[in-house]
Chain A
Amino acid sequence: MNEERHQILRMLADGQITVDDAEKLIAALERDQPAPSSTDVVPSKTQPKYVRVFMDAASEGDGPSRINIRVPLKLLRAGVRLTSLIPPIAVTRINTELNNRGIPLDLGELKPQQLEDLIEGLYDLTIDMDDPGNKMRVYCE
């Protein structure tokens, strides 16, 4: 597009075409430009900032128990990145223990991108548990 416009302006500067011709050509160029389709526009979804954990449990003792926790996702991300600092000896021991318990997970193979994906996977997480007398909700906001 810019190249064609430049060419028209160059022709105008060289005197090969008149100003009116140049205007018509540029207008034709703009007409040919495809209008942006609605499918190209990605809706900007606001990313959640916090993980919320609510729990409301009826207790037979002094009264009800309530938990209301709000943790920034940035904090989760920072905490998860700390796993890269685990000493190699500890990684080996953790891997061995995990294998012994039937979880074939190698912490050394975890890449930062995978951890990012893990955090991003939380964006759509919603856990809603409703039990007579007890309620629990985990979600991102």
Chain B
Amino acid sequence: MMETPQNSYWVPVLLAAVAVAFALGPLALAWAWARFFSPQKPGRDKNATYECGLESKGDAWISFRSEYYLYAIIFLVFDVETIFLLPFAVSFGGLSAGAFLAMVIFLLLLVEGLVWGWRKGVLTWK
């Protein structure tokens, strides 16, 4: 394409310059437009946090209590139990003794979690 290898470096330099101009051009245009035609009008409402039209209350940086993980665990126990109990109940008649035993062990594992939570006092409403 180019005659000498020295000259060929101008191609990426030109491309880089075009790329930078492509990025800076619209920004400069927007700045010039705001400067000469469309003035900025910040205000109390406009700068406020958008909250569906309501005035936002308090701080966005609130912390959730870490104890909520207990609710998540107890929810999971019942959730998984429901999902597995339904097919278990549907095919209950055709199950072998081994399958039944496996299911009971599985249920016991889940119930163990519930008992653990119960003894820990998670189920009492505070």
Whether A associates with B in a native complex is no
Which residues does A use to contact B, with CB under 8 Å?
A: none
Q: Which residues of B contact A (CB under 8 A)?
A: none
